[in-house]
Chains A and B, each alone.
Chain A
Amino acid sequence: DQQVKQNSPSLSVQEGRISILNCDYTNSMFDYFLWYKKYPAEGPTFLISISSIKDKNEDGRFTVFLNKSAKHLSLHIVPSQPGDSAVYFCAASGGGGADGLTFGKGTHLIIQP
């Protein structure tokens, strides 16, 4: 069963607009959530994270929102830029390195000029 779900395989957004990427999870033991960005032929790059004790974390153009009751998080990118075109992975941690991170299947974000 998939514990971290990204239901949109792809998303197209116009340059300058807001990009919103969504992620749902099922495991209530997850206490830390991360977003990674991946370009072709490269490893994932850490973007932003949020602890379960918070509901929002902001870093420049990137903001992550966490709704624990809905087991839902989202990544907002404002304004979207051409270099943001990549695959974005949502990941969750259950409170210890021994379990690794549980990843979603990713959303391919395409920024249209």
Chain B
Amino acid sequence: GAGVSQSPSNKVTEKGKDVELRCDPISGHTALYWYRQSLGQGLEFLIYFQGNSAPDKSGLPSDRFSAERTGGSVSTLTIQRTQQEDSAVYLCASSVRDYYEQYFGPGTRLTVT
């Protein structure tokens, strides 16, 4: 079966523009996670969805970041008015509810110029 997919794989944008990143989780996985990895750092947890709801949004770095999930499947992470410090690889993962093994997509490399 297909794994987690993300699009685009690479995105270069100008400072101040909005970007939208997409994640398609593994079919049947109800839990979905967004992380980001900045250069030389580990993965930083951003937000978690169980079904369509995100019980805790406090991991999002600023109010320029938002995420939604519809139909219990596809999720989008939106960054408004991008800044250079937003440059990172954004990773999405999904897991079967109540399991801890998260399966990651290949990531979207975002570069803000």
Measured CB to CB, the residues of A under 8 A from B are: 4, 32, 34, 36, 41-46, 49, 89, 91, 93, 97-106
**Residues from chain B with Cβ under 8 Å of A41 in the complex:** 106
Q: Are the C-beta atoms of B42 and A43 separated by less than 8 Å?
A: no
Please pick, from A32, A98, A99, A106, the residue contacting B42 in the complex, using a CB distance under 8 A.
Answer: A106
Q: Are the C-beta atoms of A97 and B31 separated by less than 8 Å?
A: yes
Please pick, from A34, A102, A105, the residue contacting B101 in the complex, using a CB distance under 8 A.
Answer: A34
Please pick, from B43, B47, B56, the residue contacting A44 in the complex, using a CB distance under 8 A.
Answer: B43
Q: Are the C-beta atoms of B45 and A104 separated by less than 8 Å?
A: no
Q: Are the C-beta atoms of B40 and A46 separated by less than 8 Å?
A: no
**Residues from chain B with Cβ under 8 Å of A93 in the complex:** 100
Q: How many A-B residue pairs have CB under 8 A?
A: 67
Cα distance, A105 to B47, chains bound together (Å): 19
Please pick, from B31, B47, B59, B103, the residue contacting A46 in the complex, using a CB distance under 8 A.
Answer: B103
B65 within 8 A of A: no
Please pick, from A32, A45, A49, A101, the residue contacting B43 in the complex, using a CB distance under 8 A.
Answer: A101
Task: Select from chain A the residue with minimum beta-carbon distance to B6.
Answer: A43
B45 nearest CB across to chain A (Å): 3
Please pick, from A4, A36, A89, A100, the residue contacting B48 in the complex, using a CB distance under 8 A.
Answer: A100
Which residues B21-56 have CB closer than 8 A to chain A?
Answer: 31, 33, 35, 40-48, 50, 55-56
- Can you show 9 pairs from A to B with CB atoms below 8 A apart? A43-B91, A43-B104, A44-B91, A44-B104, A49-B100, A89-B42, A97-B48, A100-B33, A101-B45
Q: Are the C-beta atoms of A43 and B48 separated by less than 8 Å?
A: no
**Residues from chain A with Cβ under 8 Å of B47 in the complex:** 100
Task: Select from chain A the residue with minimum beta-carbon distance to B9.
Answer: A41
Q: Are the C-beta atoms of A49 and B101 separated by less than 8 Å?
A: yes
